[in-house]
């Protein structure tokens, strides 16, 4: 979802993205710096894994570190996140 306040919009996933576990599980300051640099290099999407833990916190951290990049999980573990939590967190 695109960042636009309380209104959810579809995001254009064209362009080039990168998948990285380090953006999720690495040092948070280094992940923030890397996310900003990847965006500057032209990557339009940052993909991270959901293998446990607060994935939405990691998504929020990366979104705060970038201006326009789409941040997404490759897979969302349905056993760890309720539909209500997922809907609520996707609005942020």
Does residue 24 sit within a domain?
Answer: yes
Residue 12 lies in a domain: no
42-82: per-residue pLDDT in tens? Answer: 999 999 998 878 899 999 999 999 999 999 998 888 888 88
Domain count, the chain: 1
Q: Is the pTM for the entire model greater than 0.85?
A: no
- Output the 3-class SS for 22-91: HHHHCCHHHHHHHHHHHHHCCCCEEEECCCCCCHHHHHHHHHHHCCCCEEEECCCCCCCCCHHHHHHHHC
Judge whether 10 lies within some domain: no
Give yes or no for residue 2 having a pLDDT over 60. Answer: no
Q: What pLDDT is attached to residue 57?
A: 93
- Segments forming the whole domain that contains residue 53: 17-81
Q: Is the dihedral of CA 70, 75, 80, 84 positive or negative?
A: positive
């Amino acid at each position: 979802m695109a960042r636009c306040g309380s209104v959810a919009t579809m995001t254009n996933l064209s362009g080039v993205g990168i998948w990285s576990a380090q953006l999720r599980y690495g040092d948070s300051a280094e992940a923030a710096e890397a996310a900003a640099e990847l965006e500057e290099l032209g990557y339009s999407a940052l993909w991270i894994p959901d293998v446990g833990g607060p994935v939405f916190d990691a998504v929020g951290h990366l979104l705060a570190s970038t201006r326009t990049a789409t941040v997404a999980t490759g897979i969302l573990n349905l056993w760890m996140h309720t539909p209500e939590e997922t809907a609520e967190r996707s609005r942020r």
